Amino acid sequence: MVNFLSQKMFYLMKIPFLFFPTLFPPHLWYLILAPFLLDFFLLSVPTLLFGMLPLNLLIFMYLFPLILQFLNHLNSLSQLITLLFHPSSTISIHHSLLASP
C-alpha cells in the first residue's frame, strides 16, 4: 500500500515538469523533487524491511523545512547578487560614479 501511494505521488510530481519544463532550471527541479524522492525512500523501503514508519516520518518532517529554508536562502542570495551587479542598480551606478576620474 505504501509503495502504491508513493508511486502515485511520484508520478503526480512529474506532471508540472512535463508541462512546464522551462519554469525552473534543471537543478532547481532536483531540489523541488528531492523531498518527495526522499520521502519515497524514507517511507517505503525501511517500512517494508523493518516497519519503522513513524521514525522515518519524523526524519522527513525535520528535513523538509530545512530544504525550504535552503531554497529561500538561495533566492535571497540571487537577489543580492542581482542588486549588486545589475547595470541598472543604483548601487552599481554609485560605484561607477566613484570610479570615474
How confident is the model over 30-87, as pLDDT tens digits?
A: 666 676 766 666 666 666 666 555 666 666 677 777 777 777 777 777 776 676 666 5
Alpha helices (runs of H) in the chain, residue ranges in sequence order? 2-19, 26-49, 53-85, 90-99
- Ordered by start, the domain boundaries in the chain are 2-75
pLDDT beyond 60 at 14: no
Evaluate if pTM is beyond 0.75: no
pLDDT beyond 50 at 92: no
Cell of 23: 519554469
- Cβ–Cβ contacts within 10 Å for residue 6, how many? 20
CB crowding 22-49: b at 16 or more within 10 Å, else e: eeeeeeebeebeebbebbbebbbeebee
How confident is the model over 49-60, as pLDDT tens digits?
A: 665 556 666 666
